[in-house]
Amino acid sequence: MTIIADASSLILLSKISVLETFVERNDATISKIVYNEVIKGKEKGREDSIIVEKLVQESKLKVKIPNKLIKNKIEKLFNLRKGELDVISLAYKTNHAVLTDDKKCLNAAKALGIEFIVSLDVIIVLYKKNVITREKALECINRLEDYGWYSKNLIKSYLEEIK
């Protein structure tokens, strides 16, 4: 299954040092707008932008442009920003899932019946597949709590799933 990721999820997974592992184990795609959003950080020396650029150059992270008609239709239905609009547009009417931590994007995916995961789910899957250790998974979730905008209860439930 292809997973279409937004900029915030790429940045979060990069900050907790699992983006490369995730991309190597999944068919991951981003839109050109998402790519440009992340690459802007290169000017500020942000490591996540360098990692994403490298993954795209190595063809481990594919870049696609959504169909304009689908994008216009999605835009009329939901109030999404450029990157999130592209993510939903690329996943619409496909078997692709969405990787996002953006509330509006998650709501659009739910409304359209698009499968989705959040960055916390990535950690759980990597842990359950023995790709990362229990200690690494716990560290990642704790770091996501610092970087992300998750509720304490949500973080607690993910930590409990690992313990």
User: What's the pLDDT at 160?
Assistant: 94
Q: CA geometry: angle at 21 spanning 125 and 159, to 5°?
A: 35
**How far does CA 108 lie from the centroid of its chain?**
15
User: What's the pLDDT at 147?
Assistant: 84
Q: Give pLDDT tens digits for 45-67.
A: 899 999 999 999 999 999 999 99
Q: Which tokens sit at 142? A: 């704790």
Q: 34-63 burial, b if ≥16 CB within 10 A, otherwise e?
A: bbebbbebeeeebebbebbbebbeeeebee
The structural domains of the chain, ordered by start, are 2-119 (3.40.50.1010), 120-162 (no CATH)
Three-state DSSP class for residue 96: coil
* Total residues found in the chain within this entry: 163
Rounded average pLDDT over 90-113: 95
Q: Is the pLDDT of residue 148 over 80?
A: no
**Rounded CA separation 100/11 (Å):** 11
Three-state DSSP class for residue 125: helix
User: What's the pLDDT at 1?
Assistant: 81
Task: For residue 9, give every residue at least 6 positions away whose Cβ sits within 8 Å of its Cβ, in sequence order, or none.
Answer: 99, 100, 101, 118, 119
Across 77-91, 117-131, 138-152, least confident range = 138-152
- Sheet of 116-117, strands arranged across: 61-64, 27-31, 2-5, 97-99, 116-117
